[in-house]
Structure 1
Amino acid sequence: MDDFYFKKKFKWIPCNEFKNVKYIDKGGFGIVYKAIWLNNDGDEEVILKCHNDLSVNLNEFLNEYRIISGLKDIHHQNLIHCDFHDCNILNHDESKIYISDLGLCQPVKSFLKKYYIYGVMPFMAPEILRGKSYIPVNDMFNFSMIPWEFTSRIPPFNNIAHDLHLSLGICKGERPEIIENTPQCYVDLMKKCWYEDPLKRPSSKEVYDIIEKWIFFPYKKEIEEIDKELKCNVMSL
């Protein structure tokens, strides 16, 4: 079962190839079942996840995983993007996404004594609007607007002028309104990323791990229990 998840590969499997489908639990993004997969290489116990009919469809959810993966790679090189927003995300095909416009991308240390302000205002962190130095978690505020766009289908603050009033509003805690029926775990992640105090925001690596668990390791506790059950069954044979 671990191998199935770590491979992180998707393929179409007809529903008639599953038997003994049993309900496990229901979460924010859907319902989880366990079942026996009638695989040609031998029957295998697997987890089935039935996603709800959300404004965030599966393709967009996987895209978000690829986006945070790219941002994580940038931060891993001790770099800050500094101008991360929706128009800098290029969808090459169904499986590849690139983060572009790296002209403002700079090493972390280069910002220790510089106080430049640039970016797309709705995506800019309040501390940057106040003239503070850039640090990697500034990019995480920018990132928080991406999942919000996925749920709203519109850019953040698209109905108001991007002027001094919006800048002051962001600094005072104004954020886009949460879209109705957005799963709570998704809401929690957005709010963590746009937190007022930058030091309380998660890193790109932490967000990557969270989204990875949502996609590839849903209901880890139940999966571990199934693994134990399988081992007990093997030992009793």
Structure 2
Amino acid sequence: MDDPIEYYGKCEECKQENTGDKYCKACNVKHFQQNFKNWTSGNNDIDKFIQDTQLTANFYDQVLEWIPYDKLYNINYISKDGFGKVYRAKWIDGYINRWDNINENWERFNSNGFVTLKSLNNSENVTLEFINEIIMHLKTRMPGKNLIVRVYGITQDPEAKNYMMVLSYAENGSLRNDLDRNYYELTWEAKLKYLLHITLGLQSIHENELIHRDLHIGNILSFGNKSFENQVMVTGMGLCKPAILENTKNSIYGVLPYVAPE
């Protein structure tokens, strides 16, 4: 049996049915297009990539923005892995929440809130790996379901010239860090909820006929704020590929010393 079709009400502006929660694709395409002239990353490929997400999105989680680096502050290094470096920062504007018909501008949420910045090694040149990781996050994130870490947009470090993904920030860090600190304080209900969220995150990936290929405890992030109590989300989608792309039977993926079980 097919899943029931979600109904999101009608757009206040055009009175047509919304395609997502408070999201009217037809109207928002016009709003985004009217703003194209007001920003640029300085890279035509990045501009087109971001614009394409804005023109094709059916809900807000599929939208990317170009985020000027000077809109970020209190930038602090967190960690690095084999693919790049991770930082924590505050974002002055916050992410798009809905279109405000009265003020004729985007209503934003979590202004001056924390975000994660992730740069890939040598990403001053836009690589397929960089774009692919963002695409996989967008493709597998389902409306109203916080199972895959959200990507808000792209920025660029003006000194190192590296492009960086701007993602939602996990207060508790990786699940490894969370369990190291809080394992004995977590209830069984919380632990089972963690397992449920991981399972549903993988289900979202597999329903899109993809394989994560780098699933380990460091690529599961733990959110502990009021909005996401006992919530974990899957991230690290850089090696994610279509299941039918190649024969992976005799191939090994992941990072040592852990190899993804898929």
TM over 0.5: no
Larger of the two Rg values belongs to structure: 1
Question: 1 or 2, which has the higher strand percentage?
Answer: 2
Higher relative contact order (CA closer than 8 Å, sequence separation 6+): 1
TM-score, scaled to structure 2: 0.25
TM-score, scaled to structure 1: 0.27
Question: 1 or 2, which has the higher helix percentage?
Answer: 1
